[in-house]
A and B are shown apart, each in its own frame.
Chain A
Amino acid sequence: MIKYIIRRLVMIIPVLVGVSILAFLLIHLIPGNPAVAMLGERATPEQIAHLEEALGLNDPIYVQYGRFMGRILHGDFGRSIHSNSSVLWEMGVRFPATIELTMAAMFVAVVVGMGAGIISAVKPNSIFDHISMGTALVGVSMPIFWLGLMMIYLFGVQLKILPPSGRLDVAITLERVTNFYVLDAIITGNWVAFKDALLHLVMPAVALGTIPMAMIARMTRSSMLEVMRQDYIRTARAKGLAEKIIILRHALKNAFLPVLTVIGLQFGYLLGGAVMTEWIFSWPGIGRWIFLAIGARDFPIVQGGILLIATVFVIVNLLVDVLYTLVDPRIRFD
């Protein structure tokens, strides 16, 4: 197992090198000169030339790539073209926000999705089954921006039970240690901020979690139904085991594997797909940051951001594979 994990970790390196090359080239394929984009409509040709020189945009691409990789290996992701602040610092402020949101969304998705899926599978074709699967279908096809705005309007403006957007009320000050607000609130024992941060998480997490929730529900249901037809379930029933134990201990364990795959994949997608949610809920995360940087042709941010997301994606995949072996010992990787 350890050997397998180490081998997978080593394999991550060429993958990331590949990603870095792609990220680098993609950016050079985007039309528009970054120097022009940065200086705006009023730049003179001299100013553009001056800036191109300063940014090293005149060197051959492989020289630029070499310089880029060299810096990254030293932990230097460069400075934002727009704000001139360190990309690593900007990442450090925003990345925890996205991870916190994504985890909360996955939490909602897994709990509600699996719960609904299990009940639906246990009572197929019941009213609950129809309602939850119908809702799941709507959930998959629901545009996040519409759902998000409706939620803000209903819970934030009309009912006033949830804060409309942001991560924390402006009146609350929270000492930042990790930039995971919920965690920071616990570390510093700031329970007002803890509650407020959780409340701020509810709506964006539900909005972002809707699609994976629906997919997990559908996957759990079909996988459970499949398993429930198996002989050993019939045997268990024949032996007179309690239905609860059959479902939770015998069926769910075996039905969990494909669901785990969906969870792993969705987690990766959520990271990149949080843009819309972060936009609507003014969530200061990585998705919105990269999105704006692409529009502004802020190369160092786009490059750093893509590398970051790719790294997390690869690590999540690894974790899912390792979890497989824990859930189902029949799967062996070495």
Chain B
Amino acid sequence: MTSRPHERRRWLGLAGTGCLLLLAGCKSDSLPSARVLPDTPGGTPPIHIAGCENTVIDPGRVTLHRLNRAEYDATVRDLLGDTTHPARAFPADDHGYGFDNNADVLSLSPLLMEKYASAAEALVESAWTRGTLRTCELDPANPEPCARDILSRFARRAWRRPVTAEEVQRLLRPIALAKQHGDPPEAGVKLALRSVLVSPHFLFRVEMDPEPTSAAPHKVNAFELASRLSYFLWSSMPDEALLQAAEQDKLRTPEELEAQVRRMLADPKAQALVSNFAGQWLFTRALDSAEPDPTLYGAFNDTLRRAMRQETELVFQEFLTGDHKLKDLLDAPFTYVNDALAAHYGLPLPGSTSHQRVDLSAHPERRGIFGHGSLLTVTSNPDRTSPVQRGVWVLEQLLCSAPPPPPPNVEGLPPAVNPNMTMKERMAMHRALPQCQGCHRMMDPLGLALENYDPIGRWRMKEVSGAPVDATGDLPDGNVLNGGADMRRFVKEDPKLPDCMTEHLLTYALGRGMSNVDSCAVRFIAATAEARGGRLSDYILAIIFSDHFTSRRGDTEAQSP
């Protein structure tokens, strides 16, 4: 991402904190001017972002966002108390920019609409049977007052905003229809409840622009902000406390916003960030489909698969609420293992089939995510390690500097790979080819430094061929990474790391991909988060206070015919 300084110069409102970006009336060749950030609740010093002084921050816009499967399931859980995960029967969501909550690729096919319609019927039937929705008794002679109560309460929560009198009136219509067909009023109420769940107001997260064709940024309204918060942190609808805060217009103050965020992060529903954000950012979801070669890596089984996944989830969970710097994910001195996983890693057994927190001061090789079997497995081929995949993972997921793809038809180039070569020799072949070496000189050393971990994450001193592992990687600048510890340090010190972690988190928070125009905002958020202490919660708060999160603009694109 490169910054694109804007020609216009003006004062800009920056985050919900009321901080301001000071833009001097200078030419591009003059000295950078300062960005002045007044104290936030966390007491942040001023943030200066070189190269962004003259940039007008454009919060962008998020396309009408269909609930994805995880969001649908969590929403009906919180709305109806339904824990049957109806969305498991829906077609898979596609993902874009690494996340399956990307609004632009979340399309709505006829197949999905069919699923919504039948899920709504089943959900309403079962909730009605449980009595969840019946706040009053429907009087067959005069059902309207009670129906109105049931439907307006339900629609307010399902649509995550106040409903208008006109909308409620419309929802009452099926009662008359039911009567025509000789059915009791509850049949009509159930029809209305079903239509609430198939309405675009439920299936989409609707955000309105006062002027849909204007590029001028505006704050999203309190209810839209409440939904942004709850779908970011919980993958679910706002709860009553958040909805009421929106109704009382309390989410405007940074104190209230921060209090809500901290309350939400402490709620078990924040587990959604672990499974939906971390599961995709750290690739733990790919464990489901990992198939290590059973003849070579028969030690891998479903018990281990689950244990590895849980390890990474528990570590991330601790980062969510604990007092660790986010960067420490790379070399955290603790992890969570059960006996099976500890044995697999060669760690002392904690004496439990459930995961226990263990200290790694005596086992530096297991520190941080590069010691996790989950990541090491999903970045391997079924039959061997892949320093390239591991290197690309680091570059893409941690440094946001993915190399360009191989040039066209490079795969067909001779010479063929000799399977008896050591990994180091194989990788050297990449770098021998002039058209390949540019990128492989970046990727390979990062992956080679992890060669002591086999394709299922076990520590090893020898390759499958019997040759001793050579875990040194030569960086393009001539420095040598000798093993995992060097590599962790190298990545952790890379100044691109905070920006990149922000980019992934912001992509997920907004449900849209980042582009060049977002570059300054990303850097500003990262710097703010680091200045606040660099914890995951600091990153989350810096995002939530940002204009990108609290604002949007209209769509300047011409109306299609």
A binds B: no
Q: Please report B residues at the A interface, Cβ cutoff 8 Å.
A: none
Q: Please report A residues at the B interface, Cβ cutoff 8 Å.
A: none
